[in-house]
Chains A and B, each alone.
Chain A
Amino acid sequence: MADETEKGLESALRRRLLMGLAGLPALAVMPRMAFAATPPTSAVNTTGLAVTDTEVTVGILHSATGTMAISETGSIQSEKLAIEQINAAGGVLGRKIKVIQEDGASDWPTFAEKAKKLLVNDHCAAVMGCWTSASRKAALPVFEQYNGLLYYPTFYEGLEQSKNVIYTGQEATQQILASLDWVHKEKGAKSFFMVGSDYIWPRTSNKIARKHVENVLKGTVSGEEYFPLGHTQFNSVINKIKLKKPDVIWVDVVGGSNVAFYKQLKAAGIDLNKQVLLTISVTEDEIDGIGGENIAGAYSCMKYFQSLKNPNNEAFVPAFKKMWGEKTVIGDVTQAAYLGPFLWKMAVEKAGSFDVDKVVAASPGIELKTAPEGYVKIHENHHLWSKTRVARAKPDGQFELVYESPELIEPNPFPKGYQ
Chain B
Amino acid sequence: MEPEESISKLLRLKRYEKPRPDYFEDFLAEFQLRQRAEVIHRPFWNIAWDRFSSLFAPIPVPRLVTASSFAAAVIAAGVTLNWSGNEAGVTPATWNLSSPAQTRLGSTQIAFPPTKKRVSSVQYVLPTRPTGYASAHSF
Answer whether A and B are interacting partners.
no
On B, residues with C-beta under 8 Å from A are none
On A, residues with C-beta under 8 Å from B are none
